């Protein structure tokens, strides 16, 4: 029999009080880190502007620049407070889990975090500079470039977040294989259809230009191959 982690027997009211306490810690931690990030928002925004130093940005409405700094501060605050947020969530849910469930969740979380960071870093260092340089080549003397700071940040952050999510594919494949919902042999047979779906997903998740779509689709195809390999290993282990 699986061993469950021991915990006090809490009533429904006790659980709600505990949840309220954990939520309060999370909110306070995020507020503090957001204020800290706002103090350094000039440095944070430079991280995104340095991807293409030749690009000159404008702001089109009085509050747009302030909102850009606020957006960066909020995102930075959430990232900075994420260890506290994760700890509070884990402290609340872990007492109700079996030991093997705890180990599997921790392993999946670590794997998911590493893949998300890898995808985001890949987008920041490789994809975005290439895309911005490509788009700059279309600039003409007769057409003035007026890219607003708000639209620029929305574009950059959406690409980074999209790549982070897409790189979770192997973790999702491992989870489904562990639950015996998919097999490597099935994935291999369905590869042509899945590659077509990848290009459709890339078209939906990226801005409407072919370069963005290709630069998302190619890593997704490689991640599909990695996912098939992971599923094969898990299937083989389950058969033994």
- Going by C-alpha positions, the residue among 18, 24, 17, 40 that lies closest to residue 85 is 24
Note the pLDDT tens digit of each residue in 51-77: 877 778 888 888 999 999 999 999 999
Q: Which two tokens stand for residue 52?
A: 């293409």
Q: What integer is the mean pLDDT of 140-145?
A: 74
Whole-angstrom distance, CA of residue 154 vs CA of residue 215? 18
Structure tokens at 143: 């057409």
CA 86, distance to chain mean position in Å, is 15
pLDDT tens by residue, 84-139? 999 999 988 888 778 887 888 888 888 889 999 999 999 998 888 888 887 777 77
Does residue 179 have a pLDDT over 90?
A: no
**What pTM does this model have?**
0.80
140 or 64: which leads in pLDDT: 64
Give 177-220 as a DSSP string: HHTTS--HHHHHHTHHHHHHHHHHHHHHHS-SSHHHHHHHHHHH
Where along the chain do its domains lie?
7-96
């Amino acid at each position: 029999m699986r061993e469950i982690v021991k915990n006090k027997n809490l009533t429904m009211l006790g659980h709600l009080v505990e949840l309220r306490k954990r939520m309060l810690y999370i909110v306070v931690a995020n507020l503090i880190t957001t204020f800290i990030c706002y103090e350094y928002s000039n440095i944070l925004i430079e991280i995104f502007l340095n991807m293409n130093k030749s690009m000159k940005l404008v702001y089109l409405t009085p509050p747009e620049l302030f909102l850009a700094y606020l957006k960066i501060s909020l995102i930075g605050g959430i990232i900075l407070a994420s260890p506290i947020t994760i700890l509070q969530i884990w402290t609340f849910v872990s007492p109700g889990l079996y030991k093997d469930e705890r180990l599997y969740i921790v392993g999946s979380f670590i794997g998911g975090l590493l893949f998300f960071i890898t995808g985001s870093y890949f987008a920041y260092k490789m994809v975005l500079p290439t895309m911005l340089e490509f788009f700059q080549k279309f600039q003409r003397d007769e057409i003035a470039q007026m890219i607003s700071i708000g639209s620029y940040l929305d574009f950059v952050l959406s690409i980074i977040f999209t790549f982070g999510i897409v790189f979770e594919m192997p973790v999702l494949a491992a989870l489904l294989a562990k639950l015996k919902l998919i097999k490597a042999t099935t994935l291999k047979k369905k590869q042509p259809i899945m590659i077509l779906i990848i290009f459709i997903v890339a078209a939906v998740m990226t801005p409407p230009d072919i370069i963005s779509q290709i630069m998302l689709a190619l890593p997704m195809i490689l991640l599909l191959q990695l996912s098939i390999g992971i599923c094969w290993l898990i299937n083989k282990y389950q058969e033994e």
